[in-house]
Copies of this chain bind each other. A is one copy, B any other.
Amino acid sequence: MINSEMYRLGSAPSSIRELFEYGRKLKKEIGDENVFDFSLGNPSTPPPQAVLSEMERILTESEPCALHGYSSAQGDLAARKAIAEDLSSRFGAKISPDKIYMTCGAAASLCITVRALVSGENNEFIVQAPFFPEYRVFTENNGGKLLVADADTENFELNIPAIEKLINERTQGIIINSPNNPSGVIYSERSLNELASLLTEKSKEYGHPIYIISDEPYRELTYGKRVPYIPDIYPDTVICYSYSKSLSLPGERIGYIALPNGVSDIDELYFAICGAGRSLGYVCAPTFMQKIVASCTGQVSDLTVYRKNRDNLYAALTVMGYSCVVPDGAFYLFVKAPGGDAVKFSEKAKELGLLLVPGDPFGCPGYLRVSYCVSEETVRRSLPAFGRAIDLFQ
């Protein structure tokens, strides 16, 4: 008399978490310095100094009952105003603070958005492979069904023909994530334009909007290339944001959902988002962190270490014979598994203390995710293991 699906989800942790836990044990056995853990997307650069200073200032200067009391369910008005202003100044975005809903991070943003959009029994959401595997958990446990569009393994761009094949009258939205976890690719304006044309046409054909659900935790983690602002390209875009990466605050669970002006049924959808948050037990986003957002949204952690790791790893791995696209954002390399079998390669690599996540749960077998949000030293010291690993498969 216990929910068997919940039992399954709880007893079978994600392969990423599993590898991470394995690494923790291995470190105890053979020493921290002999384990090269590229499993988790846990930021390795501290929050911006402004965030740390604001934390101290706010704690010292605020009246504690007001600071730690409930905010409204939609969130602190100052935080919502700051977000709207920041998005306006950086992207020319037109978003009313009244159409922003503060959340406990991106996972919450996505669960709430899916639940708000699910209007019937068989509503479907499409995701472009490779994709963050928890999207399946968030979608399929909140009333939706997830369909995966095959990856474009040449460029890891949007695969428009593959997406088109999956669209039908039950399609409610497509989840996209750019810069992408796990490929590091920033979808080009060209491919986003093609997606927009396709969705516009299909929305018309089926008589209801097909929303883009844009999961943007890596929006600010880029190495030179511009990230297109998606609502400019396709108005029916729901932005799901998290400060986990940009402010290096993943444990604090703070993010938001934003509905830009121009979203279809914007008032109804916003109310449904408020209702979905309520129904999932999200009373309000953590209030201390909402105050941090009010003064620090738009700031970005120092990305120097990520950039160096990206450059060093990409250069060293390609010289060794590994193959991967240049990652323009996020903190992942998505490497073709030497020998073709990523699970097999990952197992062998584990024996060398090298923890790499196979791409299979990302909808992209044959590839390995390398999370380079680690120290520069870990990257440097890991290179011999990468070398030995590829030698085993050549």
Segment touching B, from A84-92, A113-121, A311-319, A350-358: A113-121
> Is A70's beta carbon under 8 Å from chain B?
yes
Number of copies: 2
Given A45-B65, A60-B56, A252-B288, are A278 and B10 also a contact pair (CB < 8 Å)?
A: yes
Interface stretch, picked from A101-109, A177-185, A384-392, is A101-109
CA distance A250 to B117 in the complex (A): 29
Nearest chain B CB to A53's CB is how many angstroms away? 10
Interchain CB contact (< 8 A) of A119 among B2, B17, B142, B143: B2
A341 to chain B, nearest CB (A): 28
Q: Does A141 contact B (CB under 8 A)?
A: yes
A286 touches B1 (CB 8 A): no
Which stretch in A28-36, A157-165, A221-229, A268-276 binds the other chain? A268-276
Q: Of the candidates B59, B107, B248, which one forms a contact with A55 in the assembled complex, judged by CB atoms under 8 Å apart? A: B59
Which A residues are within 8 Å of any B CB, using their own CB?
1-11, 13, 17, 40, 42-47, 52, 55-56, 59-60, 64-65, 67-71, 73, 104-105, 107-112, 115-119, 134, 137-138, 141-143, 172, 208-209, 248-253, 265, 268-290
CB contacts (< 8 Å) of A271 on chain B: these are: 6-7, 10-11
Q: Which residues of the partner chain B approach A56 to less than 8 Å between Cβ atoms?
A: 56, 59-60
Select from chain B the residue with minimum beta-carbon distance to A14: B278
Is there contact, CB below 8 Å, between A119 and B1? Answer: yes
Contact B43 A272 (CB under 8 A): no
Given the known inter-chain contacts A64-B248, A70-B250, please indicate yes or no for A6 contacting B107, CB distance below 8 A.
no
Residues on B with beta carbons closer than 8 Å to the beta carbon of A108: 281-282
Residues of chain B within 8 A of A282, CB atoms compared? 104, 107-108
The smallest beta-carbon distance between A381 and chain B, in angstroms, is 19
Q: Are A274 and B70 in contact (CB under 8 A)?
A: no
Given the interface pairs A1-B172, A108-B282, the reply to whether A251 lies near B68 with Cβ below 8 Å is yes
12 A-B pairs within 8 Å (CB atoms) are namely A1-B117, A1-B119, A1-B209, A6-B115, A9-B275, A10-B271, A10-B272, A64-B248, A68-B249, A104-B286, A111-B280, A251-B284
A371 → chain B closest CB, angstroms = 12
Assembled-state Cα–Cα distance A164/B170 (Å): 44
Contacts of A4 in B (CB 8 A): 119
Q: How far is the CB of A49 from chain B (nearest CB, A)?
A: 10
Residues of B within 8 A of A17 (CB): 73
**B69 near A251: Cβ-Cβ < 8 Å:** yes
With both chains docked as a complex, state the minimum distance between the C-beta of A273 and any C-beta of chain B, in angstroms.
7
Using CB atoms, name the residue of chain B closest to A268: B2
Please give, as numbers and ranges, the residues of chain B lying within 8 Å of A285 by CB-CB distance.
Answer: 253
Nearest CB of B to A204, in Å = 14
Q: Give Cα A119–Cα B361 distance, bound, in whole angstroms.
A: 27
Are B284 and A281 in contact, with the CB atoms below 8 A?
A: no
Shortest distance from the beta carbon of A55 to any chain B beta carbon, whole Å: 6
